[in-house]
Structure 1
Amino acid sequence: MLKVLLISSDLPDQALLGQLLDAGYRLSLLRLEQLAKQTTIADQSLLVGCFTNEDELAQLTENLGSQEPLWWGWNQSNYPHLTLKAYEAGARHVITNDANASQIIQNLNALHVSQLHQQTTRGREQQYPRGAMVHLQADQALLIETGILSLQVNHPDGSNVLLGLFGPNQLVCGHPHDGCAIYLQAHTPISAQLLPWQRVLSEPSLIERLRMRLQLMEAWASCQAHPYLDQRVLGILNLLAEQFGKQHNQGLLIDVRITHEQLASAVGSTRATISRIIRDLRTRSMLDSHFSGSNERFWLPIVPHYHHTHPFA
């Protein structure tokens, strides 16, 4: 099991430590002020640097910068801008103050699978549970076989924006560790192939998948830039219908669960406003839905006119 080194100026939450131990993780603790004295850190350790203010974050990143280990940040404050600063400093993922133990353990499990995979032959199947963070190096790509992956970004004010959903036969690339705060998360359970970038460049079919993804991202950005909110919502749903749509006797069923809150994050609005927009679109017979709750699915009476669907799907 993955070894975790917690770096903090204070002792982390005891209940969480107990749950991590119960989950099989090997934990070590290191005081933040002692970090500068560490000349080497075990290769197989995941570093989790805890911080409550900018000074602690600066001290943490200054001492981790020369070693360049795999590390996570843990923002134990209520200041979302520190999360962005941690990403800018090279954190692979940042735990927020409101994250619960099960979410943290789920993400650690996904990271552990990724690390084991990188230590063995690349290109073997990867499995990610729903909600898990998907960590890719800048020179890696993920070819999705089953399931749906979301691309998101965190802003300094704590808001989240949905940048796209990707499904079977689509290729997703690793993003450099910069200040973009872009991350990948399993929207549903995922089975995928982890590929080195050189393999992508050597296979025309993979390059074609990459081209199609670029076109889809451009279309997504175009929909997000529409001046009218109802057209933004319809545009995003049209793209999702193109990717995940199934023929329905009343139109095209979007066979992926997307909440009003997720739609709001995709078009720059609020959940309440999106709920009102959806009611209006239903009244105008431009949108409808089946079922309710976690089983709710939207359907469009008019088939989308976009043409970005992957030819290998």
Structure 2
Amino acid sequence: MAGRKTTPLKDFSLGTHRCSVDLRLEKLSMVPFFTDLDEGKLTAINQQFSAAHHHADETIYHQDERATMLRVVVHGAVKLVRHTMDGKDVLLDMLQPGDYFGNFSTTGKAIYSETARAQTDVCILSIRMSNFRSLLNDYPEVAVAVLDITADRLQSSREKIRHLTTLTVKKRIAHILVMLSEKFGEQNAYGLLLQLPLSRKDLADMVGTSSETASRIMSDFQDQDIIKTGRQWVAISDINRLADIAKE
């Protein structure tokens, strides 16, 4: 159709997509605390998870709801958003297949500290925390890995707070783009294309600024041939320059 907008991004629609056993095992093996398990153990653990599909922009769970599930992304992308007291949204993270999210607590009294929303159509694996606690008892190596990963996440959270409070907005946006390129980057004719829909508001929410400021900085980056952009997509033309800006 003439005049129809095109995008270099993949088609993330679910269509006939299903979370096949092979795909489930592949993505579960990418979860940090399952990485060292053999196929037999992964197969047994997979049976504890249930699959669910969500369409783009659909909420998976809400902040402050009782946290009962641990989840793993199998297909598509998920974003985690925290709602602040002054009514703003802070975009905490973008998740790709193999990433986990939800509740890690074993107390049974935890609440979700963020809202999880489908950035694209997604397939998600979920396990109830009561079942996950049983896994920790059955597989001590998983329990040890969970402890290590929890400590790493705490350090990462502290680093994010430092970025939001000490770096300029320009450096923050450069840092976020470099981080997203490591997770979602795919080399093609446009450059290092971030394979997920990414709006100016998404970027603004990740760095704690306004959409207008994020748009101005992204336009500056484009004028300097550091990035290419279109409707909800970003490709990085000069990753080294972007990394330098993040560190300047």
Give me the TM-score of the superposition, normalised by structure 1. 0.50
* Structure 2 residue aligned with 1:159: 88
Conserved in 2, the CA contact under 8 Å of 1:147 and 1:191?
A: yes
Aligned-pair CA distance for 1:221: 4.3
Alpha-carbon distance change, 151 to 257 in structure 1, aligned in 2, over 3 angstroms: same
**Which residue of structure 1 lines up, in the alignment, with residue 133 of structure 2?**
198
Matching residue within 111, 117, 135 for 1:177: 111
Match of 1:233, SS? helix
Aligned counterparts of 2:156 and 2:190: Cα–Cα separation in 1 = 25
1:298 to 210, 231, 235: 235
Partner of 1:227: 167
Measure the CA separation in 2 of the matches of 1:254 and 1:203: 37
Letter matched to residue 230 of structure 1: K
- For 1:129, the equivalent position in structure 2 comes to 55
Deviation at 1:211, TM superposition (A): 2.6
Q: How far apart, CA to CA, are the structure 1 residues paired with 2:164 and 2:186?
A: 24
Q: 2:149 aligns with which of 211, 229, 232?
A: 211
Q: Which residue in 1 is equivalent to 2:194?
A: 254
Q: For the structure 1 residues 203 and 138, does the alpha-carbon distance in structure 2 shift closer, same or farther, using more than 3 Å as the test?
A: farther
Q: TM-score, normalised by structure 2?
A: 0.61
- 1:273 lines up with 2:213 in the alignment: yes
The count of corresponding residues between Structure 1 and Structure 2 is 180
Q: Check the 8 A contact 2:190/2:228 in 1, yes or no.
A: no
What is the CA distance between 1:277 and its match in structure 2?
A: 0.7
C-alpha distance in structure 2 between counterparts of 1:297 and 1:221, whole Å: 25
Structure 2 counterparts to residues 1-313 of structure 1, below 5 A: 122-135=48-61, 137-174=66-103, 176-177=110-111, 182-195=114-127, 196=129, 197-198=132-133, 201=136, 202=139, 204=141, 207=145, 211=149, 214=153, 220-248=160-188, 251-289=191-229, 292-294=230-232, 296-302=233-239
Deviation per CA, 1:159-212, whole angstroms, max 9, x where unpaired? 11101111100111228337x5x211111111111023326633757947x839
- The structure with higher relative contact order (CA 8 Å, sep 6+) is 2
The AA in structure 2 aligned to 1:177 is I
CA distance in structure 1 between the partners assigned to 2:93 and 2:176 by the alignment: 9
Greater shift after overlay, 166-175 or 228-237? 166-175
How far the C-alpha of 1:228 sits from its partner, in A, is 1.2
Percent identity between matched residues is 19
CA distance in 2, matches of 1:283, 1:234: 15
- Which consecutive unaligned segments of at least 5 residues does structure 1 have? 1-120, 306-313
1:271–1:278 CA distance, 2 compared to 1 (3 A): same
Instruction: Please state whether the residue corresponding to 2:239 is helix, strand or coil.
Output: coil
Distance in 1 of aligned mates of 2:140 and 2:117: 26
Letter in 2 for 1:260: R
Q: Compared with structure 1, are the counterparts of its residues 163 and 259 closer, same or farther at alpha carbon in structure 2 (3 Å cutoff)?
A: same
Partner of 2:7: none
Report the AA paired with residue 224 of structure 1. Answer: L
After superposition, the C-alpha distances for 1:253-309 in whole angstroms (9 at most, x for unaligned) are 1111111111111111111111111111223333222xx324x3332422687xxxx
> Which of these two proteins has the greater Rg computed from alpha carbons?
1
Root-mean-square deviation over aligned CA pairs: 3.2
2:204–2:211 CA contact under 8 A, matched in 1: yes
| Alignment check: 8 A CA contact 1:164 1:217 kept | no
State the shift of 1:223 in Å. Answer: 3.9
